[in-house]
Amino acid sequence: MAIEVLEWKDDSGREMVWRHASGGAIKLGAQLVVLEGQWAVFFRDGKPLDTFGPGRHTLTTANVPLLTRLIGLPFGGTSPFRADVWFVSRKVFADLKWGTKDPVAFRDAELSMVRLRAHGVFAVRVADPRALLSGLVGSMGSYTTDDIESYLREIVVSRLNDVLGETVRTIFDLPARYDELAEMLKGRVAADFARYGLELADLFVHAITPPEEVQKVMDERAGMAAAGDPEAYLRFKTARALGDAARSGAGGAASAGVGLGAGAALGLMIPGLVQQGSHAVQSSAGFCVACGVALPAGANFCPGCGKKKG
C-alpha cells in the first residue's frame, strides 16, 4: 500500500499560506515533508494545533499530541483522522504595496482641511504561524498572499492619518519628513501586525500628495520664499502676466492695442519700465517681463532672453 505524503512546493514564490487538500482522512503513518523555509500546521475545527518545522516527519500519536487529544485516537493505532494541513512560508515578503484608495482628511494648520493621497511599500515575514492561521485564515478554504496584503494595506492606511495628525503641523513640512514618518508609522503598525503573527521587516513612504489645487498653492508659496520680498514677488507676477498678454497680442490692430495697453499699465504699476517693440524690459534691478528672469543690479542685458535694458 502506498504511503501518503503531505508536502508543498511553491514555484511562484508568492504564496504565504497554502492548504493541503487531502481529499479525505489522513492516516497515522503518513509522511509529512516540510521544506526549509516552511512550517506545517494541523488545523481542526477552526483551531491550529500541532506545528512542524523543516524535515520529514512520520505522523504518529506521539508527534500530534494536541490533535490526538482532540479527536481521541487510540494510542499506537493507525486510525485515519480528518484534519487540514496548512503550510506557511517563513520567507520575507518584500515589495508589498500600500496606498490610499480614497484621499484621507488632514487638518492643516495653514490650509485648514486638506485631503491627501499616499503610497509606499512594506515587507513582512511570518513569525508565528499559529497566530496567522487563527487570526487571518481561520476556517477559510483558501487565503492568498494578495488577500493578506490587501488586509494589511488597510491597517497601514488606517494608522497613517493618526501619525500625520500627531506629528505634522502643515503639509508644507511633509517632503523633509518622509523618513521620520515612515519610522513612526512602522512602529505604530508593527503592533497591529504582531497580533496576527506577522513581523514587519520594513516600511517606506514614497509620496504623500495633496490635490492639484493645493499643490499650486504650495508652488506659489515656494516662489514667494525664493523671491524673499513678498511685494517684489507680486510685482514680478504682475509684470509677467502683463508681458504675456502683450506678447500674445502680436498680430492685428486690436491685438496690438492689447499689447500697448498692457505695456502702459505695466509702466504705471512698476516704475522704470520702458517699451521696446512688443516687449517690456525692466530698466532697473528686478525681473525681466519678457521671460521672467531676475535681473542683476547694473545689468544691461537680461541674462535669460538677452533683451537689452532701456
CB 148 within 8 A of CB 16: yes
Rounded to whole angstroms, the Cα distance separating 33 from 59 reads 10
Q: Which residues contact 146 (CB under 8 A, 6 or more apart)?
A: none
Q: By the 8 A CB rule, do 130 and 198 touch?
A: no
Cα–Cα distances in Å, from 188 out to 151, 159, 184, 191, 270? 16, 7, 6, 6, 55
Residue 3, exposed/middle/buried by CB under 10 A (0-12, 13-18, 19+)? exposed
Model pLDDT for residues 140-184, shown as the tens digit of each residue: 444 677 888 888 999 999 898 888 888 888 888 887 888 899 999
Which CATH homologous superfamily contains domain 93-214? Band 7 domain (3.30.479.30)
Cβ-based burial of 179 (10 A; exposed 0-12, middle 13-18, buried ≥19): exposed
Q: Fill in the amino acid letter for 257.
A: G
- The residue ranges of the chain whose pLDDT is under 70 are 1-2, 21-24, 72-79, 138-143, 215, 217-237, 239-286, 289-293, 303-304, 309-310
Q: CA 94, 128, 124 angle in degrees (round to 5)?
A: 10
156's grid cell: 497601514
Q: Please tell me the predicted confidence (pLDDT) of residue 105.
A: 84
Residue 35's pLDDT is what?
Answer: 94
Position 284 scores a pLDDT of: 42
What are the grid coordinates assigned to 113, written together? 482641511
Domain ranges of the chain: 5-89, 93-214, 228-295
